[in-house]
Amino acid sequence: MAGAEGDDSLYPIAVLIDELRNEDVQLRLNSIKKLSTIALALGVERTRTELLPFLTDTIYDEDEVLLALAEQLGSFTVLVGGPEFVHCLLPPLESLATVEETVVRDKAVESLRKISQEHSPVDLEVHFVPLVKRLASGDWFTSRTSACGLFGVCYPRVSSTVKAEIRQHFRTLCSDDTPMVRRAASSKLGEFAKVLELDYVKSDIIPLFTALASDEQDSVRLLAVEAGVSIAALLPQEDLEDLVMPTLRQAAEDKSWRVRYMVADKFSELQKAVGPEITKNDLVPAFQNLLKDCEAEVRTAAANKVKVFCESLPEDSRETIIMTHILPCVKELVSDTNQHVKSALASVIMGLSTILGKDNTVEHLLPLFLVQLKDEYPEVRLNIISNLDCVNEVIGIRQLSQSLLPAIVELAEDAKWRVRLAIIEYMPLLAGQLGVEFFDEKLNSLCMAWLIDHVYAIREAATCNLMKLVEKFGAEWAQNTIVPKVLGMANDSNYLHRMTTLFCINALSEVCGQEITTKHMLPVVLKMSTDQVANVRFNVARCLQKIGPVLDSSALQAEVKPVLEKLATDQDMDVKYFALEAISVLALA
């Protein structure tokens, strides 16, 4: 090989090594992120024989660099010569899978899972499985933790003897004496169960599940809950009662609120996994207890599930169960002491009306909605209002309108601007459902009042709201109700209000159409071009630019052009700038 050529081909790796030793972390990071380019330059063989050993041996670095490396190696298969050589990637990933930093380790495991699929069945047994075993029997908890995530990906593709070994290793890790490893095993139990043969699920997984679900540490127990859901979905109905239900029942009444929280949080999945019969007999009482739990956290999680739970109840007994068992608990939650509980309930309670139908909604749910609409916490009221559409479909919103109004008015005038902002966002929805008449009578004045709010974000949202209302109610409505009021503000003594007129015109011109814009809005805008406040004048220029496309060309030439030309000679820099910009955009020069 010619000397020069040899030097050339060494160059990339030399640069890499140089940069990997640089003191600046950012440079090291950059060089790791370019790893695939370097590998490509080196070719597959030298990547295998030089680059990978170098990475395996010399890497001891900042977690950021290791994280980037772990991620890169996951998509390196092609660069080492394809599936046939993919096992070359195992050594560096193995050492990354033993690092303390969780993020790095998880990424290494993710990459290992990815490349495990690229191993041939033989390579899997010869190279990959031994690695998993080494990790599983490592000294320090980190490698054992990583191993937990790898059993599931190799199990389906190995011989039955190796399968038996893998099951044995998993069993061992489930009773590891460090809680970190038991947590990892517990969180992977469901995934592992899915790839096991049903007989082994019954003979191996169930005892492990039972043990983990009664671990001395609640952090292990709560992870077993999720596994329980996965396992329940795998078993035939007739085995559920004996194999998983005792443990799940116990979890729903665990002394630690974290475990109960987890049960509440996974309740819909659980319901789906165990089927209608067990739901009726077991889950209904369990759900009632969770809704009445002594910890607000648990009640909140359960309250969030009320609608989904009721929806998925078996149809034949749905209504009876809801009316006799669930609704009484819901009634209590409406006046819970904790705002998060009430707010969670408020975000789903309206959904019950579709399930229960018109009569029940009017008789039982409506009173609850009304209580929540008067709740002391704005979030609860907002959650009710934001879900009005569900009720509208069932009983129509009229039933609620008398109570809605005070609630809306109160939120509209709330001292906190974010509350006001939130209610503005629901205005178009409310307007659509309450109808134009009700709106004109009761809500229009609120919408106009927001235009002169002292917070800009509210004025801005109010402007946008007007546009959406016009989209709903049409241009004629706009002309009769809001346009006169908006234009009236052009004579306000406060320049901020005068600017709001311009912003409204910006938003409304298009939806109102050419006629209204030319006849009513344009004269006002043009008149404002002589305003004494420069901010108003340059906003006139911007406004003209915005509404220009809506106007016809005669109006543009005859009315807009002279005004913009005059503004272009204004003494204020910004006014000039925006006037010139408008002239060029509207092609009036």
Partner 1 sequence: METPTKLPPSSPSSPTTGFSVPSAEKVDGFPRRSMRRARQRRSHSSSQFRYQSSQVELTPLPLLKDAPVAELHDLFCKKLQQCCVLFDFLDCVADLKGKEIKRAALNELVESVATSRGVLIEPLYPEAIKMISVNIFRTLPPSENPEFDPEEDEPALEASWPHLQLVYEFFLRFLESPDFQPSLAKRYVDQKFVLQLLELFDSEDPREREYLKTILHRVYGKLLGLRAYIRKQINNIFLRFIYETERFNGVAELLEILGSIINGFALPLKSEHKQFLVRVLIPLHTAKSLSIFHAQLAYCVVQFMEKDATVTEHIIRGLLRYWPKTCTQKEVMFLGEIEEILDVIEPSQFIRVQEPLFKQIAACISSPHFQVAERALYFWNNEYILSLIEENCQVILPLVFGTLYRVSKEHWNQTIISLIYNVLKTFMEMNSKLFDDLTSSYKVEKQNEIFRL
Contact residues toward partner 1 (CB under 8 A) are 100-103, 105-106, 140-141, 145, 177-180, 183-184, 186-187, 216-219, 222-223, 226, 255-258, 261-262, 265, 294-297, 300-301, 304, 337-340, 343-344, 347, 378-379, 382, 416-419, 422
Paired tokens of 561: 């052009």
- Tell me the closest approach of the beta carbon of residue 529 to partner 1, in angstroms: 36
Per-residue burial over 231-270, b if 16 or more Cβ lie within 10 Å, else e, is: bbbbbeeebbeebbbebbeebbebeebebbbbbbbbbbbb
- Tell me the closest approach of the beta carbon of residue 95 to partner 1, in angstroms: 16
Q: Give the contacts of 574 (CB within 8 A, at least 6 positions apart).
A: 534, 538
Cβ neighbours around 578 below 10 Å, total: 24
Give the separation between CA 227 and CA 193, rounded to whole angstroms.
8
* CB-nearer residue toward partner 1: 90 or 189: 189
Give the separation between CA 85 and CA 281, rounded to whole angstroms.
55
* CB-nearer residue toward partner 1: 14 or 103: 103
Give the separation between CA 577 and CA 388, rounded to whole angstroms.
47
Paired tokens of 421: 């902002």
- Tell me the closest approach of the beta carbon of residue 150 to partner 1, in angstroms: 14
Single-letter code of the amino acid located at 276: P
- Tell me the closest approach of the beta carbon of residue 215 to partner 1, in angstroms: 11
Give the separation between CA 322 and CA 54, rounded to whole angstroms.
65
- Tell me the closest approach of the beta carbon of residue 153 to partner 1, in angstroms: 17
* CB-nearer residue toward partner 1: 48 or 105: 105
Cβ neighbours around 57 below 10 Å, total: 11
* CB-nearer residue toward partner 1: 48 or 266: 266
* CB-nearer residue toward partner 1: 227 or 502: 227
Q: How far from 570 is each of 73, 551, 575, CA to CA, in Å?
A: 63, 24, 6
Give the separation between CA 280 and CA 566, rounded to whole angstroms.
78
Give the separation between CA 391 and CA 400, rounded to whole angstroms.
9
Give the separation between CA 580 and CA 374, rounded to whole angstroms.
53
- Tell me the closest approach of the beta carbon of residue 390 to partner 1, in angstroms: 17
Sign of CA dihedral 118, 122, 125, 127: negative
Q: Give the contacts of 100 (CB within 8 A, at least 6 positions apart).
A: 142
* CB-nearer residue toward partner 1: 148 or 321: 148
- Tell me the closest approach of the beta carbon of residue 145 to partner 1, in angstroms: 7
Q: What is the DSSP string of 194-251?
A: HHS-HHHIIIIIHHHHHHHHT-SSHHHHHHHHHHHHHHHHHS-HHHHHHHTHHHHHHH
* CB-nearer residue toward partner 1: 379 or 471: 379
- Tell me the closest approach of the beta carbon of residue 411 to partner 1, in angstroms: 10
Q: What is the DSSP string of 543-557?
A: HHHHHGGGS-HHHII
Long-range contact set of residues 208-211: C-beta below 8 Å, sequence gap at least 24: 208/170, 208/171, 208/174, 209/244, 209/247, 210/247, 211/174, 211/175
- Tell me the closest approach of the beta carbon of residue 483 to partner 1, in angstroms: 32
- Tell me the closest approach of the beta carbon of residue 152 to partner 1, in angstroms: 15
Paired tokens of 120: 């041939």
* CB-nearer residue toward partner 1: 383 or 392: 383
- Tell me the closest approach of the beta carbon of residue 101 to partner 1, in angstroms: 7
* CB-nearer residue toward partner 1: 261 or 439: 261
Sign of CA dihedral 20, 26, 32, 35: negative
Give the gyration radius of the chain's Cα atoms. 34
* CB-nearer residue toward partner 1: 273 or 346: 346
* CB-nearer residue toward partner 1: 110 or 440: 110
- Tell me the closest approach of the beta carbon of residue 300 to partner 1, in angstroms: 6
* CB-nearer residue toward partner 1: 227 or 322: 227
Q: Which of 70, 53, 74, 51 is nearest to 61 (CA)?
A: 70
Give the separation between CA 19 and CA 16, rounded to whole angstroms.
5
Give the separation between CA 290 and CA 271, rounded to whole angstroms.
14
Paired tokens of 259: 């475990």
Give the separation between CA 30 and CA 18, rounded to whole angstroms.
12
* CB-nearer residue toward partner 1: 295 or 565: 295
- Tell me the closest approach of the beta carbon of residue 75 to partner 1, in angstroms: 21
